[in-house]
């Protein structure tokens, strides 16, 4: 078995975290997106609101300490 580099392990862990966040929050994402009123003047503002909420929620629920990284 070949040893993985630190970069590969971090990349794999980030993929796992991304999949977990997507699975856990898919319905929340959909509800937030469906509740927005988009027009030609508001896309960035709406995107920024959703992105901030998602980032804050994911940071509250995910630990990235080195001892938590699994292969």
Rg of the Cα trace of the chain?
A: 16
Q: In the block, which residue shows the tokens 């991304």?
A: 18
Query: Does residue 44 fall inside a structural domain?
Result: yes
Query: Does residue 1 fall inside a structural domain?
Result: no
Q: Which domain holds residue 53?
A: 6-68
Q: Residue 69 — pLDDT band, cuts 50, 70, 90? A: very low
Summarize the confidence of residues 6-13 as an average pLDDT.
89
State how many domains the chain has.
Answer: 1
Q: What's the pLDDT score for residue 1?
A: 61
* pTM of the predicted protein model: 0.43
Q: What's the pLDDT score for residue 42?
A: 73
What span, in angstroms and rounded, lies between the C-alpha atoms of 71 and 35?
38
**8-16-5 Cα angle (round to 5):** 10
Q: What's the pLDDT score for residue 62?
A: 55
What span, in angstroms and rounded, lies between the C-alpha atoms of 1 and 54?
37
Q: Kindly tell me if the per-residue pLDDT of 40 is higher than 80.
A: no
Q: Say how many C-beta atoms besides its own lie within 10 A of residue 70's C-beta.
A: 8
Mean pLDDT over the full length of the chain: 77
């Amino acid at each position: 078995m070949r040893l993985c580099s630190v970069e590969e392990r971090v990349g794999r862990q980030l993929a796992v975290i991304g999949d977990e966040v997507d699975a856990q929050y898919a319905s929340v994402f959909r509800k937030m997106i469906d509740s927005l009123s988009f027009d030609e003047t508001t896309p960035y503002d709406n995107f920024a609101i959703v992105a901030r909420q998602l980032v804050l929620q994911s940071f509250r629920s995910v630990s990235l300490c080195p001892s938590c990284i699994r292969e």
